[in-house]
Amino acid sequence: MRRPRSLRLQVVLIASALVAAVSIVVGVVAVLSLHDYMLGQVDARLNGAAARGADIAGGRGPGSTPGSTPQISPGPTSTPPATRPNRDDVVGAPGQSGGTITAIFRDGTFEIGGWIGSDGVRHDLTAAQKKLLATRLPTGSADRTAPVTVDLGGSLGEYRVAGRTTPTGAGVVTALPLESVTAVTGRLTLVVALVGVACIVLALAAAAVAMGRALRPLRRVAHTAAAVTAVPLDRGEVRLAERVAARDIASTAEVGQVGAALNDLLDHVEDALAQREASESTMRRFVADASHELRTPLATIRAYAQLSGRSDAEEREIRGNAALIDVEGVRMGALIDQLLLLARLDALPELARDEVDVRLLVAEAVLAARLAGPDHVWVMELGEDPALVLGDAADLRRVVDNLLANARVHTPAGTTVRVRLDEVRTGETVGSVRLTVSDDGPGLPDAVREAVFERFARGETSRSREGGGTGLGMAIARAVVEAHGGTIAVAPGPGATFVVTLPAA
């Protein structure tokens, strides 16, 4: 694939192109404006020179005033003969500048004319020049022609030419050189071109420096992203220490948006990696605990089986070993059932959406717990109205059974276990159903309070069977409650208090 151009190069090229375009437009406008202005001045001088040439050709002489009326002397009214101007009167007349061309035509034929150099020497016109000037004579009823630019060739070059017709019928063509206009506009064009090139070069340098400084924070953001990509994320504990600096985020709005987004992304990735590491650690601990819990009954079963297989084993001993094997098998089966239940809940299954009256469900569970723990005091506060939720009745019953079994197993005889069921209302609407199971026993240690809902969590560090069940009861309760869209938590206070909240039907 073709390597893309850098943003810095693109911006520099665009800025330089804009400067070049502006320089060209300004230069062209300046040169054209000056050319039109100077051409207008030449045309004004040309009109004056053409008027003087017409006066000379009309016989008024170089000293007469244009437009004046000849004085009539008393005497006979005879018309004096026409006075034809000579070459000296026409070429180099007073008021004419160097290079001025004057040509007089009668009946379309060249009569007299020429031009005077800057040194005062009079020069004749060539046949080709006379022919070009003759084309600028007025035609028809017009007495003058507008100034136009004509290239007379030779040493003369471009001239501004205008023609007039005198009252006597003579045609006068006057021309002024455009050398000064060409020289000034040419010099201005050269200056504009040099200044434009200098501006473009300066724009390139300034844009390169400015973009380099402006993109420096963006390069640091890219360096941060590249440093993160070099960190192995597939295993172990990962810490993403790289972050976009605050000064880079505050540099520009665009870089700030990219930098802040990258920091947020890194925070999310780091949180996800921490959760992954915690999940892997929990899974390793879970596998170790499950292996231990399963190994104990399997070892017991194997030991009793070996005892029963001895040749000198008595029938009574064999029957006792078989009973103990059955007990351990039941214990192992219960553990496997709990593990399967947790696996099912972890898979986020579609739960049943039956309408369940938690009030009846709790009453049945408390009556069963009273039979299992007659040495405890059981108190129910269930209210009179049904407490309806949507869910799986069997799973919800398991939650209540686990909470009551937890209170029965981990408290001494004579402990009062109170079960309360009430409704949380939002105005006139029942928002949720709240179940509280509390006891006045010794309570939960601080270390256990934080991890009571973890799998294989126990109130003691040993793994003795006398400490209770397998340590999965509270984990199952939390998984079931969360699968039903509810919450379960340990409330502060004396003893142990568990609060379950479920959305009302």
- The tens digit of pLDDT for each residue in 126-154 reads 888 888 888 888 887 777 888 988 988 87
Rounded distance, CA 47 to CA 481, Å?
106
| pLDDT score recorded for residue 363 | 92
Pairing of the two strands 377-381 and 416-426: parallel
Q: Compute the residue count for the chain.
A: 505
Name, in order, each residue with C-beta under 8 angstroms of 488's C-beta and a sequence gap of 6 or more. 399, 453, 477, 478, 481, 482, 498, 499, 500, 501
| pLDDT score recorded for residue 130 | 87
* DSSP bridge partners of 504: 389
Is the pTM above the cut of 0.75?
no
Handedness of CA 89, 93, 98, 100 (dihedral sign): negative
| pLDDT score recorded for residue 30 | 92
Q: Which tokens go with 156?
A: 């003369």
- Helices marked H in 347-392: 358-372
Q: Which residue from 443, 348, 357, 449 is spatially nearest to 400, judged by alpha carbons?
A: 357
Name, in order, each residue with C-beta under 8 angstroms of 334's C-beta and a sequence gap of 6 or more. 470
Residue 393 has φ and ψ, to the nearest 5°, of: -65, -40
| pLDDT score recorded for residue 59 | 64
- The tens digit of pLDDT for each residue in 85-111 reads 665 566 766 767 788 888 888 888 888
Rounded distance, CA 185 to CA 179, Å?
10
* DSSP bridge partners of 500: 435, 488
Alpha-carbon distances of 64 from 59, 71, 104, 311, 394, rounded to whole Å: 9, 12, 18, 164, 131
- The tens digit of pLDDT for each residue in 160-194 reads 899 888 888 888 888 889 888 989 999 999 999 99
Q: Are 369 and 378 in contact, with CB atoms under 8 Å apart?
A: yes
Q: What is the mean pLDDT of each run of 10 residues along the chain (505 residues)?
A: 71 86 91 92 87 73 44 41 59 75 86 80 85 85 84 85 86 88 91 90 87 82 81 70 80 82 85 79 74 76 84 82 84 76 68 86 91 92 86 88 89 92 76 91 78 68 46 82 90 87 89
Q: Which residue from 321, 505, 488, 463 is spatially nearest to 402, judged by alpha carbons?
A: 488
Rounded distance, CA 156 to CA 178, Å?
9
Q: Which tokens go with 374?
A: 């007659």
Pairing of the two strands 122-123 and 109-116: antiparallel
Looking at residue 99, the DSSP 8-state letter turns out to be T
